[in-house]
Structure 1
Amino acid sequence: MKLLHRIEGNDVLVIELREDNLDAGNVGAFKEEIQHLVTQLTRVVLDMQGVKFIDSSGLGALISCLRQLKARQGDIRLCQMSPSVAALFELMRMNRVFGIHASCNDAVASYA
């Protein structure tokens, strides 16, 4: 699982997901790494720039992360989705559940 991370703005954790797919094949590793990264910070931006496909287990992992953060009064915002992933989120109405932004800067600024 390729996850890069950095802190931006006012303690916003930006995580770059550098995988083509978020699916049953790698969702376990994704959840494990995300849980480790979000133990300290509650404001998270997930940069999904390279992701071309997400299946139901990938959506479930994102919802699990959102619930974990919400339980600690936090949130996760998504940014830089490919057109196909953005279309899936709209079809599944996940765009109503997650804050989705065109750029990382917009997503980080949304926490201000």
Structure 2
Amino acid sequence: MSLDVTTETRDGVTLVILGGELDIYTVAGFRQYLEGIDAVAAPLVIDLTDVSLLDSSGLGALVSLLNRVRAGDGRLGLICPHRRLRRVFEITGLRRAFTFGDDLEGVLAGLAEGPASSPATT
């Protein structure tokens, strides 16, 4: 399968919408796509709603992005309404590193509360 990536700007938020599989086969293209995104100018939200598979290489790309955003004092949130994907973050100990929400409004509310408390490592 493949990974579809699109970007939208909504109310001053950069929204990166993913669809498909974020895995070892697609992560290089995802990382390259992210290089063209200004990760600190506006809040950045990654929408995982239509992601069907997330493996360790995809997690690594998200952690790298989180570290890049934090280094520039930016904000990053994840739209992740599906328990099966959130479970991946819980199992790996990354659940507290990211700000989650079931939709854009939920993520923005979480980001307004402040950054997640745990540092991320790659």
TM-score by length of 2: 0.80
The aligned residue for residue 8 of structure 2 is 6
Q: Point out the structure with the larger helix share.
A: 1
Q: Which has the higher contact order (CA 8 A, sep 6+)?
A: 1
| Mapped partners of 1:42, 1:64: distance in 2 | 18
RMSD (Å) for aligned C-alpha atoms? 1.7
Q: Gapped runs of 5+ residues in structure 1?
A: none
Counterpart code for 1:79: I
The aligned residue for residue 35 of structure 2 is 35
- How many residue pairs get aligned? The number is 110
- 1:37 deviates by 1.8
- 1:111 deviates by 4.0
Identity %: 25
- 1:82 deviates by 2.3
TM-score by length of 1: 0.86
Q: Gapped runs of 5+ residues in structure 2?
A: 113-122
Structure 1 runs (4+) deviating above 6 angstroms are: none
